[in-house]
């Protein structure tokens, strides 16, 4: 019979709920006022942990409890200033581009992570117990450290309630969260409100980091797991709803406490994600949430669409030149660079299929998961039934499309940020399945000893040059099919639907079916790319499909531009060259990727392709402008 200590479950419930609530409420507050999801919120949490570690190192003679108290003051103040600086440099500049601000914060999170690695090293820091001792309550153990977490969470929540309901500045924040226009008419300084909100949100994340610093190890990636949990909480509770965030924090605190006590702690990511998807299936805006701010297709695609289109002859010439360069590459490059070329072609299939997904107006964070599913399908079908690669390739794509179809049922009912964040959580849960279900997927070590395709027409794919040419052929086929879909009637309907989903529904267009179709099509090609990757790599493991890989895909689309089919290709070329230039300094890669995406969002929101169009337009004269106008008129 299972021996369950209900008191211990209750104690764990209180400490987990306090942490989840304290961290997620700051995120919900920022969204409620600024209407932006700050992906770098997890890095503010991480900075709070490092503030505690630095004070412990700088003040070795002071009692630990005194250093802890000092960190609870200094850490949040410093991080609050950092939050205000982020508001000044990023969110204030993207106030009219909600999606741009979100993507810039995603880049910022990788910049801060990279700086933490450079400054403190990649190894996590283990801190001493700052408040030793424990209390035994009815057979349950409550350590003084976890008691501090509970009391700190309650104190911060109480202080936030008093601020929002009993002070003039707090009432201004509440008014701004309800209606910006009305708040402005009442004389409220919205700029000051935004700074105040950002400072409070960042400070609450830092307090969480200080409180949890000696409970969990402090490291540069500690914010990634925390932000995943915060997204789960705010999605279920409802974006922008503080009562919803507190309710969801209590719910997941109880669920996680029970799961941990029963010995299922390693499955918490999966359990919480399934609950989130179940809630979204019936409450697309969360339990107490409001509708996310509308993002029109111009915002999602980045740019105003004013760039002149290139004449067809010039476009075809550029595409032909690029194709010829790719075809000639393996005959002049070394074996090393041919390997780089193979990975480039695999990533090429990923980014052009991801661009197809974005045409529906939603940016999925689970695309890398579809890539992983294709790779694992290849591994399982080759090591199990021993099927031919040429049969496995379409089956891998179908496996990814099937999983996408299952995910689509709940998430396609959501909009905008709910969609972004729910796909992020769902993707991480699937990756955790690869880790936790070791008998099937091999755990963290993955599945090895995979073989490339069998010989075809006397060609051996153990030769990297032959594999490159095969990958090039498959990339060309995928690109051609996706281009035909994009230019066809269905593709144009999808983009028109994304411009105004409500109007499309009034015209009888089934938006849910269209979005699900696009989601599954993009997943199919990502799955095929995964099979191609597994065949070349020789093994698959969960570490091959991390959030950083997803960030690279998103960065390629944003940096290159997503208005046309070829923008992401340009972005991928830039990122690949940048990554290769930083060979031997891998820790700098996410730093430069993050900086590049931030600068792109702030200064060239239409991407490099849009910039190139503006630079080329004066050189080719008014013909380009007339052609662009004629093409837009024909599409209208």
Give the per-residue pLDDT at 1.
44
Tell me how many degrees the CA angle 375-594-419 measures, rounded to the nearest 5. 60
Give the per-residue pLDDT at 254.
92
Q: Is the pLDDT of residue 60 over 70?
A: yes
CB 160 within 8 A of CB 174: no
φ and ψ at 135, to 5 degrees? -120, 135
> For 71-102, what is each residue's pLDDT tens digit?
999 999 999 999 999 999 999 888 888 788 88
Give the per-residue pLDDT at 627.
47
Q: Cα–Cα distance between 355 and 183 in angstroms, integer?
A: 38
Cα 281 to chain centroid, rounded: 21
Q: Is the pLDDT of residue 45 over 90?
A: yes
Q: Cα–Cα distance between 445 and 424 in angstroms, integer?
A: 23
Q: Cα–Cα distance between 557 and 574 in angstroms, integer?
A: 11
Q: Is the pLDDT of residue 507 over 80?
A: no
232: alpha, beta or left? (left if phi > 0; alpha if psi -120 to 50): alpha
Q: pLDDT class for 139, splitting at 50, 70, 90?
A: confident
> Hey, which residues does 75 pair with through a beta bridge?
none
Q: Helix 547-560 crosses helix 335-358 at what angle (to 10 degrees)?
A: 70
Mean local confidence (pLDDT), 283-290: 76
The DSSP symbol for 142 reads E
Q: What are the tokens at 330?
A: 């393996």
Q: pLDDT class for 2, splitting at 50, 70, 90?
A: low
Nearest to 550 by CA among 358, 347, 407, 373: 347
Q: Is the pLDDT of residue 512 over 60?
A: yes
Average pLDDT, the chain: 85
pTM, entire model = 0.87
Tell me the three state secondary structure of residue 245: helix
Helix, strand, coil percentages for the chain (3-state, nearest 5): 75, 0, 25
CB 374 within 8 A of CB 536: no
User: Rg of the Cα trace of the chain?
Assistant: 25
Place of tokens 């019936």: 282
Give the per-residue pLDDT at 465.
93
Give the per-residue pLDDT at 201.
92
Mean local confidence (pLDDT), 378-405: 94
Tell me the three state secondary structure of residue 140: strand
Nearest to 280 by CA among 246, 232, 247: 232
Residue 189: how many other CB atoms lie within 10 Å: 13
Tell me the three state secondary structure of residue 361: coil
> For 456-489, what is each residue's pLDDT tens digit?
888 888 899 999 999 999 999 999 999 999 888 8
Exposure class string for 446-482: b at 16+ Cβ within 10 A, else e: bbeebebbeeeeeeebeebbbbbbbbbebbbebbeeb
Q: Is the pLDDT of residue 532 over 90?
A: yes
Q: pLDDT class for 240, splitting at 50, 70, 90?
A: confident
Say which range, 56-60, 244-248, 500-504, has the weakest mean pLDDT: 500-504
Say which range, 149-158, 270-279, 309-318, 561-570, has the weakest mean pLDDT: 309-318
Give the per-residue pLDDT at 304.
45
Mean local confidence (pLDDT), 531-540: 93
Give the per-residue pLDDT at 636.
44
Q: Is the pLDDT of residue 299 over 70?
A: no
Tell me the three state secondary structure of residue 217: coil
Q: What are the tokens at 23?
A: 């961290």
Q: Is the pLDDT of residue 158 over 80?
A: yes
Q: pLDDT class for 350, splitting at 50, 70, 90?
A: very high
Place of tokens 């424990």: 134
Q: Is the pLDDT of residue 564 over 90?
A: no
Say which range, 5-9, 220-224, 353-357, 442-446, has the weakest mean pLDDT: 5-9
Q: Cα–Cα distance between 296 and 302 in angstroms, integer?
A: 10
Say which range, 166-170, 290-294, 390-394, 429-433, has the weakest mean pLDDT: 290-294
| % of the chain exceeding 70 in pLDDT | 92
Residue 484: how many other CB atoms lie within 10 Å: 10
Q: Cα–Cα distance between 166 and 152 in angstroms, integer?
A: 20
Tell me how many degrees the CA angle 288-289-294 measures, rounded to the nearest 5. 165
Mean local confidence (pLDDT), 306-320: 69
Q: Cα–Cα distance between 575 and 595 in angstroms, integer?
A: 12
Q: pLDDT class for 306, splitting at 50, 70, 90?
A: very low
Length of the chain measured in residues: 636
Q: Is the pLDDT of residue 303 over 70?
A: no
Residue 229: how many other CB atoms lie within 10 Å: 22
> For 582-627, what is each residue's pLDDT tens digit?
887 777 888 888 899 999 999 888 888 888 777 776 666 555 545 4
Q: Is the pLDDT of residue 374 over 90?
A: yes
């Amino acid at each position: 019979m299972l021996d369950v200590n209900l008191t211990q479950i209750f104690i764990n419930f209180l400490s987990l709920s306090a942490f989840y609530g304290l961290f997620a409420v700051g995120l919900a507050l920022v969204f409620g006022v600024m209407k932006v999801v700050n992906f770098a919120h997890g890095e503010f949490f991480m900075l709070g942990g490092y503030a505690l570690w630095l004070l412990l190192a700088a003040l070795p003679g002071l009692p630990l409890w005194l250093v802890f108290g000092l960190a609870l003051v200094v850490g949040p103040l410093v991080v609050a200033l950092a939050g205000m600086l982020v508001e000044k440099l990023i969110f204030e500049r993207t106030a009219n581009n909600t999606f741009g601000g979100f993507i810039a914060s995603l880049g910022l999170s990788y910049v801060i992570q990279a700086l933490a690695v450079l400054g403190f090293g990649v190894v996590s820091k283990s801190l001493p117990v700052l408040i030793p001792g424990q209390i035994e309550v009815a057979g349950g153990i409550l350590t003084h450290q976890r008691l501090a977490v509970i009391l700190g969470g309650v104190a911060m929540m109480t202080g936030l309630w008093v601020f929002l309901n009993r002070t003039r500045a707090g009432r201004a924040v509440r008014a701004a969260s309800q209606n910006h226009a009305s708040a402005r008419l009442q004389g409220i300084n919205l700029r000051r409100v935004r700074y105040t909100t950002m400072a409070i949100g960042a400070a609450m994340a830092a307090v969480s980091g200080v409180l949890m610093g000696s409970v969990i190890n402090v490291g540069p990636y500690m914010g990634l797991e925390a932000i995943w949990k915060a997204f789960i909480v705010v999605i279920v509770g409802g974006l922008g709803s503080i009562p919803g965030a507190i309710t969801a924090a209590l719910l997941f605190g109880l669920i996680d406490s029970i799961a941990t006590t029963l010995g299922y702690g390693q499955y918490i990511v999966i359990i919480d994600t399934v609950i989130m998807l179940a809630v979204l299936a019936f409450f697309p805006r969360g339990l107490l949430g409001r509708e996310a701010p509308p993002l029109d297709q111009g915002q999602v695609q980045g740019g105003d669409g004013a760039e002149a289109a290139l004449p067809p002859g010039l476009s075809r010439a550029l595409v032909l030149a690029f194709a010829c360069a790719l075809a000639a590459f393996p005959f002049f490059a070394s074996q090393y660079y041919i390997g780089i070329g193979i990975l480039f072609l695999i990533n090429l299939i990923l980014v052009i299929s991801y661009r197809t997904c974005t045409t529906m107006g939603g940016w999925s964070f689970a695309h890398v998961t579809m890539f992983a599913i294709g790779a694992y399908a290849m591994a399982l079908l080759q090591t199990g039934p021993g099927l031919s690669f040429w049969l496995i390739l379409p089956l891998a794509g179908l496996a990814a499309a099937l999983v996408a179809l299952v995910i689509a049922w709940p998430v396609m009912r959501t909009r905008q940020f709910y969609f972004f964040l729910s796909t992020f959580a769902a993707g991480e849960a699937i990756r955790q399945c690869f880790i936790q279900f070791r008998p099937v997927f091999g755990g963290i070590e993955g599945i090895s000893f995979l073989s490339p395709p069998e010989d075809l027409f006397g060609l051996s794919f153990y030769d990297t040059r032959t594999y490159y040419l095969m990958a090039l052929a498959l990339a060309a086929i995928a690109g051609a099919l996706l281009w035909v879909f994009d230019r066809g009637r269905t593709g144009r309907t999808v983009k028109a639907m994304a411009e105004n989903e409500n109007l499309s529904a009034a015209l009888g267009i089934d938006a849910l079916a269209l979005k699900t179709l696009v989601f599954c099509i993009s997943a199919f090609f990502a799955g095929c790319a995964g099979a191609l990757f597994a065949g070349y790599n020789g093994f698959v493991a969960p570490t091959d499909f991390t959030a950083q890989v997803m960030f690279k895909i998103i960065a390629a689309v944003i940096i290159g531009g997503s208005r046309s089919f070829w923008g992401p290709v340009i972005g991928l070329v830039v990122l690949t060259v940048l990554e290769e230039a930083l060979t031997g300094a891998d820790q700098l890669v996410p730093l430069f990727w993050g900086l590049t995406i931030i600068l792109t969002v702030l200064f060239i929101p239409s991407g490099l392709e849009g910039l190139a169009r503006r630079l080329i337009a004066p050189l080719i004269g008014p013909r380009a402008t007339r052609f662009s106008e004629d093409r837009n008129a024909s599409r209208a």
